[in-house]
Amino acid sequence: MKTLVRFSQSRIAWLSLTFSALLLEIIALFFQYGMQLNPCVMCIYQRLAMIGLIVAGVIGSLAYRSRFMRFIAIILWGVSSIWGLKFAIDLVDLQTNPSPFATCAFLPEFPSWMPLHEWIPSIFMPSGMCTDAPWIFGGFSMGQWMIGIFSAYCIALVIFIIPALRKNVNQPTRPMFKM
């Protein structure tokens, strides 16, 4: 358990989160621009969740010694991974159970004070349909792969949440009373 606590409170653990999410974001951009697979609204929401994981990893790696900042990073990690999982499940449901009554929006519903699709359309403007599943690998669609990926982030969070929030083990302890 001490090894897990030390690892969860180390910079390398948080950098692992950052770089794994960054790699997946780069892969998503390759699919969009290299393979011409247009992202749908649900894909854009999942992309934003992945960016949330990147930010959580950056916060954790910059302030890995601070219990409070690890707590903030863990909250962002949890919200992002659960939110991404929810949208991945919704996307797969739309793809496997098509219905004329269940469709996705054409534009993302970002808050009016943060219209990312207008600010950075090359990353956040959807141009595909949610019901399309143009890419299959290993018998699974991209949405199904994303369910597995976001599930793995959720499982990793469950494993790391208690050790990461414990009292710092990487710092030397001070005696309570000086003699």
User: Annotated catalytic sites, by residue?
Assistant: 40, 43, 47, 104, 130
Q: How far apart are the first and last CA of the chain?
A: 32
Contacts of 56 (CB under 8 A, 6+ apart): 17, 73, 74, 76, 77, 80
Q: Which three-class secondary structure state does DSSP give residue 167?
A: coil
Query: Residue 5 CA to chain centroid, in angstroms?
Result: 22
Question: Cα–Cα distance between 139 and 116 in angstroms, integer?
Answer: 33
Instruction: Assess contact for 44 and 10: CB atoms under 8 A.
Output: no
